[in-house]
Chains A and B, each alone.
Chain A
Amino acid sequence: GSITTADGSALVKLGNTTVICGVRAELAAPPVDSPNKGYIVPNVELPSLCSTRFRPGPPGEEAQAASQFIADVIENSQIIEKEDLCIANGKLAWVLYCDIICLDYDGNILDASTFALLAALKNVQLPAVTVNEETGLSEVNLKQKNPLIIRKHPVATSFAIFDDTLLIVDPTAEEEDLATGTVTVVTDEEGRLCSVHKPGGSPLTGAKLQDCITRAVTRHKEVKKLIDKVIKSIQPK
C-alpha cells in the first residue's frame, strides 16, 4: 500500500529481484457477451532500468509472455469472481488495471509478479458505487471503501532444469541463463494445481515433475503466511 495514487499496491523483493504492482480501478461498460462480469487487465513491464539485457522501446517478448502468463493465472485460478466486479448488469462494471513493473531483474520474474499481484489485490479498496435510476449516471462514494473479495490465493513456484539431472528452485538470473529449461507451477491453498507452465526446454520425467509439485505446495503455505502477516500489519489505517 505504498503508492497512494493507486487503488492498491505492493512491492515484492525475492532476493535481488524487485517487482512493484499497482492496481487502478476504473468504471466501464461490461463486455457484450457477459454483461454481468467486469474485467482484469494485467500488464507486465520489464523496463530497461531493471537490467542491461532489456533495450528501451516497445515491450519485448519476455514482457509479453509474462503478461500472458499472469492473465492465464488470473483466469484459471479464479482469484476474483468477475461477477463481483459488476455494479449494474449490462451497464457498469469495474475494470482493474494491474500494472506490474520490474525494478530489478535477478531471475524468477514470474513468481515475483504473481506475489506482487496477489498482495496488491489484497490491498485494493474499491469505493462504493450506486447507479442513479433516473439519470442513469453513476455516483461514486469515495468515503465508503470496501476491500476486494479474493477467492483463491494462487502462488507460483519456478524451477530451473539442467539436462534432467539437476533441479533448482527459485533461479537467479545467472542460473536461468545457464539452465536448459524452466518449469513454473501455480498452486492454490487447497493444494490444487492452477497452472503448470513448461515452455520447451529439455524433457523432464514424470517423477521429477511430481516432486516439483509437492515442493510447490509446501512453498505455498510459507508464502501465504507471509502475505497474511504483512496485510495484518498494515490493517489499522
Chain B
Amino acid sequence: MAALELLSDEGYRVDGRRAAELRKVRARMGVFAQADGSAYIEQGNTKALAVVYGPHEMRGSRSKALHDRALVNCQYSMATFSTSERKRRPHGDRKSSEMTLHLKQTFEAAILTQLYPRSQIDIYVQILQADGGNYCACVNAATLAVIDAGIPMRDYVCASSAGFVEDTPLADLSYVEEAAGGPQVALALLPASEHIALLEMNARLHEDRLEEVIEAASRACKAVHAVLDRVVRDHVQEATAL
C-alpha cells in the first residue's frame, strides 16, 4: 500500500480527524437574487452551490410533462478549476451524467411532486472545489436550496459518505481517502423516518461489514441534518426579523 496511512495507530486520519468525525460544515441559504432558491455549502474543502428554479411551466417539449406530478430536472456540473487537474468537460461526461441521474432520483423521492402537476422544477448544482464527497455536498446543498425556494419536501435529504479501513468504518471521506481505493458507500437518508433515498457502494466489502458501514454513514447523515436544520432556522429567523 502507499506510504500514506489512512488511519494511524492512535486512531487519527490523514487530516487529523477521528474515524467517525465529520468535516466542518458551513452553509448559507438565499445567496442569489435571480433564483427561486439557492444555497452554498462547504464541507471541509469541498464547496458546492445549488440553485433551484421552480416550480414553473414546462420548457421545451410539452409532451414530456407528467399529468399528475412535477418533473424534476437536475444538472450537475463541476467548475474547470475545481479539481487539482484542470477538468476539460464540465458536463456531458459520463461521471456527471451519472451524478445528475442520481440527484434526480433522490429528489424525486423527497419532493412532494404530486402538488405540482404538469410543471417542472430545475435543480442546478455546481461544484466550485472538489475534495471528496462531491455527491454528498451536492445533495445537502440542493436540500437547502429546495427549502429556500419554498418547495415542500417529505423531510430533509442528508447525505454522507463512509468507507472502511482496517476494521474501522470512516465517516465523510475526503479526496485522499476516496482515491486510496477502499470500499466506499454514499448514503442519502431522510433522517426522521430513517428511510434511505439512495445507497451506492463501490469496491468489495464483506457482507457482515455492510451493517457497520451503513450505521456509520447514517450517524453522519443525522449529524449533517442537525447542522442543516440549524442553518434553516437561523435563516428564517433573520428573514422574518426584518
- Chain A, range 98-115, C-beta contacts under 8 Å to B: 99, 101, 103-106
On whether A47 and B126 interact (CB within 8 A), knowing A6-B81, A22-B80, the answer reads yes
Chain A residues with CB below 8 A from B83, complex form: 5
Question: Which residue on chain A has the smallest CB distance to residue B122?
Answer: A48
Docked CA distance A84–B161 (Å): 44
Question: Which residue on chain B has the smallest CB distance to residue A56?
Answer: B75
Chain A residues with CB below 8 A from B31, complex form: 104
The number of residues on chain A lying at the interface, defined by a beta carbon within 8 Å of a beta carbon of chain B, is 30
A23 in the interface (beta carbon within 8 A): yes
Chain B residues with CB below 8 A from A43, complex form: 80
B35 in the interface (beta carbon within 8 A): yes
Docked CA distance A47–B127 (Å): 12
A149 in the interface (beta carbon within 8 A): no
On whether A48 and B124 interact (CB within 8 A), knowing A24-B86, A104-B34, the answer reads yes
Question: Which residue on chain B has the smallest CB distance to residue A20?
Answer: B128
B12 in the interface (beta carbon within 8 A): no
Contact A50 B34 (CB under 8 A): yes
A13 to chain B, nearest CB (A): 10
A16 in the interface (beta carbon within 8 A): yes
Chain B residues with CB below 8 A from A3, complex form: 47, 81-82, 128-129
B53 in the interface (beta carbon within 8 A): yes
Docked CA distance A55–B61 (Å): 13
Contact A49 B130 (CB under 8 A): no
A165 in the interface (beta carbon within 8 A): no
Docked CA distance A97–B51 (Å): 26
Chain A residues with CB below 8 A from B33, complex form: 16, 104, 106
Contact B77 A47 (CB under 8 A): yes
Question: Which residue on chain A has the smallest CB distance to residue B49?
Answer: A103
Q: Chain B 37-81, CB within 8 Å of chain A: the 1/0 string?
A: 000000001010101010010010000000000000001010111
B237 in the interface (beta carbon within 8 A): no
A18 in the interface (beta carbon within 8 A): yes
B80 partner, pick from A4, A99, A106, beta carbons under 8 A: A99
B84 in the interface (beta carbon within 8 A): yes
Docked CA distance A22–B122 (Å): 26
On whether A23 and B32 interact (CB within 8 A), knowing A48-B124, A56-B75, the answer reads no
Question: Which residue on chain A has the smallest CB distance to residue B124?
Answer: A49
Docked CA distance A178–B81 (Å): 35
Interface residues of B (CB under 8 A from A): 31-35, 45, 47, 49, 51, 53, 56, 59, 75, 77, 79-84, 86, 90-91, 122, 124-126, 128-131
In the A-B complex, list the 10 residue pairs whose CB atoms are closest, starting with the nearest. Answer: A22-B81, A49-B124, A6-B81, A49-B51, A16-B33, A104-B32, A99-B80, A24-B86, A104-B34, A3-B129
Interface residues of A (CB under 8 A from B): 3-6, 9, 16, 18, 20, 22-24, 26, 43, 45, 47-52, 55-56, 97, 99, 101, 103-106, 173
